[in-house]
Each structure stands twice: as structure tokens, then as C-alpha cells.
């Protein structure tokens, strides 16, 4: 979850080596090789990469290491650049990620990993939403269909405002209706996050659900 970095150095670009990145994935894959319900997400939100090609090389090495460890049944999520941005994938890292191969055969288990928020600067740090991102996802889905590939919206969310109830609902409805090109979505965030956190969908103290969950997320499950 460290943005393709260690101590500020980018993987295969002055930071950890490709061999080191492949090694950690080999160890993880060895542990979970027999569990077909596991999905391997290679990295959270790579960004500000000096160059794309070295990152693609690291991704391929990790995929190879996972399969060599005997984990051949699991989906592997391939992240691009620009914080795994859904808008940027088709023109930035996506064209090169299309060239990543799966030693297990085919590409149906190599799924692109994208994120997208709905606030004014796409940061997921504001209570209000200003877009439902439909144009972004229409473009992404078109690109995926052209290349016969799939993606997952693995991070999105909104604040506790009517604008987010409406826009997030619209976005998730589009993702749902775009199956199987978009295989699904996950919403940030719940679990240990306090219910006062801007994007929380953690149930309230009395056990009731947040309105964001009720109005935007649950109808699209």
C-alpha cells in the first residue's frame, strides 16, 4: 500500500528492485496459493512515475512470481499510474499494461485496477461530490471493450451529503450495468474508520446504516 515506493524510491526506478518486488509477491503467493478466493492486488496507487516502462516490467515480474509460486487460480489486479486513476488508464499505463502476460494462460485473470472519486479534485477528501464520473467510465469501458479486457473500480466513495448520495448512486449504477467489462466495485471506507470520517460507511453506533450506504451503495449491490 506504499504507492510503488520505499523510502521515497520508486520500484525499478531507484527504489526497490524488480527482483525484490517479485520476491515479496512470491512469498505472499506461496502462502495463499491454495486459496482460490484470494485476489492479489499488486500495488495501491502508483503515482508520479519517472517512466512507465520500468513499472510495467515490475508488474510482469510480480505476475510471473505469483504464478511460479503455484498460485494459478487467482485474479491479479494490475494498477496503472496517476494514483490508479480510471481517467488516465487508457492513455497512460494502460497501453503497456495490455502487454503483460499471464503464465497461467489467457488474460481473463489479469484485471485492471482503477480508482475514482467524485469530489472537486478527485482526492476523496471533501464532503461534497461534483460529478458522477459517467464520462470517465464510458471512456474506460469503451477502451476495455476494444481490447477485450476487464477492470474493477477498487476504490471510490463520497461524503454524507445529498450530492454524494446522488452522484455516487449514479456512478455505481453505471459500474453495475457495465458488467462483465467492469467486474465490480469496492467502496472506501468502513471497518475501523470512525463514523465521523468524511467517507465513512461504517455503521452507526446503534447498528443502523449510514445514509450513503442506504441510498447509494446498497441499491447497486
- CA–CA dist 162, 165 (Å, integer): 5
Q: Which of 45, 92, 128, 171 is catalytic?
A: 45
Q: What is the mean pLDDT of residues 193-215?
A: 92
The confidence score (pLDDT) of residue 30 equals: 98
The confidence score (pLDDT) of residue 195 equals: 85
Does 128 participate in catalysis according to the annotation?
no
**Using 50, 70 and 90 to split pLDDT, how confident is the model at 196?**
confident
Least confident of 12-16, 112-116, 196-200: 196-200
| Beta strands at 5-6 and 151-155: parallel, antiparallel or unpaired | unpaired
**Using 50, 70 and 90 to split pLDDT, how confident is the model at 1?**
confident
The confidence score (pLDDT) of residue 6 equals: 96
Q: What is the pLDDT of residues 74-100, one digit of tens each?
A: 999 999 999 999 999 999 999 999 999
- CA–CA dist 13, 4 (Å, integer): 10
Q: What is the pLDDT of residues 10-67, one digit of tens each?
A: 999 999 999 999 999 999 999 999 999 999 999 999 999 999 999 999 999 999 999 9
Alpha helices in the chain (DSSP H): 18-32, 53-68, 94-97, 134-146, 162-177, 211-212
The confidence score (pLDDT) of residue 187 equals: 97
Q: Cis omega before residue 189 (within 30°)?
A: yes
At 58, list the grid cell. Answer: 515490475
Does 155 participate in catalysis according to the annotation?
yes
Q: Which of 128, 155, 171, 198 is catalytic?
A: 155
The confidence score (pLDDT) of residue 193 equals: 80
Q: What is the pLDDT of residues 130-187, one digit of tens each?
A: 999 999 999 999 999 999 999 999 999 999 999 999 999 999 999 999 999 999 999 9
Q: Would you give the end-to-end CA distance of the chain in angstroms?
A: 26
Amino acid at each position: 500500500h506504499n504507492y510503488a515506493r520505499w523510502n521515497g524510491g520508486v520500484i525499478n526506478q531507484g527504489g526497490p528492485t524488480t527482483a525484490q518486488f517479485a520476491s515479496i509477491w512470491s512469498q505472499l503467493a506461496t502462502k495463499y496459493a491454495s486459496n482460490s478466493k484470494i485476489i492479489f492486488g499488486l500495488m495501491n496507487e502508483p503515482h508520479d512515475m519517472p517512466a512507465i516502462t520500468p513499472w510495467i516490467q515490475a508488474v510482469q515480474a510480480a505476475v510471473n512470481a505469483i504464478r511460479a509460486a503455484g498460485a494459478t487460480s487467482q485474479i491479479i489486479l494490475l494498477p496503472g499510474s496517476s494514483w490508479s486513476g480510471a481517467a488516465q488508464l487508457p492513455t497512460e499505463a494502460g497501453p503497456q499494461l495490455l502487454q503483460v502476460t499471464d503464465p497461467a494462460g489467457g488474460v481473463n485473470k489479469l484485471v485492471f485496477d482503477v480508482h475514482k472519486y467524485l469530489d472537486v479534485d478527485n482526492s476523496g477528501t471533501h464532503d461534497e461530490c461534483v460529478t458522477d464520473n459517467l464520462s470517465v467510465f464510458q471512456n474506460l469501458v469503451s477502451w476495455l471493450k476494444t481490447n477485450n479486457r476487464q477492470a474493477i473500480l477498487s476504490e471510490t466513495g463520497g461524503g454524507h451529503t445529498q450530492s454524494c448520495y446522488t452522484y455516487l448512486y449514479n456512478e455505481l449504477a453505471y459500474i453495475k450495468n457495465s458488467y462483465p467489462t467492469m467486474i465490480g466495485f469496492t467502496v472506501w471506507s468502513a471497518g475501523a474508520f470512525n463514523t465521523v470520517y468524511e467517507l465513512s460507511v461504517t455503521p452507526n453506533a446503534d447498528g443502523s446504516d449510514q445514509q450513503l450506504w442506504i441510498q447509494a451503495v446498497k441499491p447497486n449491490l
